């Protein structure tokens, strides 16, 4: 057994206080129980292990990736455990906690500036190109290229198997935010093989509704909405697409912390807000599953939680 064997097996818990009467129950997969506090541990291990197995990553080689933060932290964790050098391209648009976590695990960071302070198509493309250049300049390096790497899908299919087992097959809808689309695709495809009529809802930022055919824009839901349709996106796997604004996602994340004790990031707020809409439509007796993608500990310095009321001092 190694530290990497602690990835997966996260719990599925019901929301108890914020779901209105007359709605379906909402179950949340606590992916912040993974070692780095993120669902991305699953895909990081899947990408590195597959590359080692087929020779794309040779002994003594290094790994390169672009990241909004959580994938980078997860890759840093996996690479540290395997003693593999890692170069990550990220931006100050993403939380300081994520960047500090990557560095603490030994990753070398290259920062790309975001003029808007948020996630945009231009920022994502510049990060991708920077990672490509770093990989090209380093013989023996392996660029995981998360947007195009289908090795992530088995990792997320295993997560779908956990959901199916934990619900005893009683799931009527699955809701998940889309970034690279790897998690939505991997989980939805597997669940639909188990239940062909499953309602699958993809969530995207309202400010950048490209999956819905709209224009890309800057938003603050980290890990989602790259500003273009991701290569792994499969529209046939989405029953519908839900749009959630950054402000509404933040408000819901704060509400989850205060009313449910569920301390997670902005994408989780977006997931739960979309899940509440679906639960209201399904009504009593239905089950909606969504994901707490990562821990709120990754966002303490951001507007998500930094604006929380200050503690008072006793007299």
Question: Alpha-carbon distance 213 to 226, whole Å?
Answer: 14
Compute φ and ψ for 119, nearest 5 degrees: -85, 125
The strand order across the sheet containing 108-112 reads 108-112, 86-91, 62-66, 141-143
Which candidate, 112, 97, 33, 116, places its Cα nearest to that of 67?
112
Which is the catalytic residue, given 23, 29, 40, 216? 40
Question: Alpha-carbon distance 32 to 268, whole Å?
Answer: 10
Q: Is 40 a catalytic residue?
A: yes
Q: Is 212 a catalytic residue?
A: no
Sign of torsion over alpha carbons 8, 42, 102, 260: negative
Beta bridge partners of 109: 88
Q: What long-range pairs does 228-233 form, CB within 8 A, spacing at least 24?
A: 228/121, 228/124, 228/125, 230/147, 230/178, 230/179, 230/180, 230/181, 231/147, 231/148, 231/181, 232/147, 232/148, 232/150, 232/180, 232/181, 232/182, 232/185, 233/178, 233/181, 233/185
Which is the catalytic residue, given 38, 183, 267, 295? 267
Question: Alpha-carbon distance 13 to 268, whole Å?
Answer: 14
Residues annotated as catalytic are: 40, 267
């Amino acid at each position: 057994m190694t530290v990497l064997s602690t990835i997966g097996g996260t719990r599925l818990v019901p929301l108890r206080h914020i779901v209105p009467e007359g709605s379906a129950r909402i179950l949340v997969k606590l992916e912040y129980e993974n070692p780095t506090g993120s669902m991305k541990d699953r895909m990081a291990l899947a990408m590195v292990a597959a590359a080692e197995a087929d020779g794309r990553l040779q002994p003594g080689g290094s790994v390169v990736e672009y990241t909004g933060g959580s994938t980078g932290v997860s890759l840093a964790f996996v690479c540290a455990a395997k003693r593999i050098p890692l170069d990550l391209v990220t931006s100050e648009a993403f939380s300081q906690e994520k960047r500090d976590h990557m560095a603490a695990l030994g990753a070398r960071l290259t920062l790309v500036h975001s003029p808007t302070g948020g996630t945009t198509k231009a920022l994502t493309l510049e990060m991708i190109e920077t990672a490509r250049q770093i990989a090209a300049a380093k013989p023996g390096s392996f660029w995981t290229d998360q947007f195009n790497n289908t090795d992530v899908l088995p990792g997320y299919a295993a997560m779908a198997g956990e959901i199916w087992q934990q619900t005893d097959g009683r799931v009527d809808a699955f809701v998940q935010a889309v970034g690279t689309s790897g998690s939505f695709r991997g989980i939805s495809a597997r669940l639909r093989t188990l239940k062909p009529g499953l309602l699958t809802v993809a969530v995207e930022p309202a400010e950048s509704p490209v999956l819905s055919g709209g224009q890309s824009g800057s938003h603050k839901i980290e890990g989602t909405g790259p500003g273009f349709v991701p290569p792994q996106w499969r529209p046939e796997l989405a029953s519908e697409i839900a749009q959630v604004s950054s402000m509404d996602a933040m408000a819901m994340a704060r509400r989850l912390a205060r009313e449910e004790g569920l301390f997670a990031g902005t994408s989780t707020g977006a997931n739960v807000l979309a899940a509440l809409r679906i639960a209201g439509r399904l009504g009593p007796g239905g089950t909606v599953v969504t994901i707490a993608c990562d821990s709120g500990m990754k966002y303490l310095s951001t507007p998500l939680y930094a604006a929380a009321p200050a503690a008072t001092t006793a007299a």
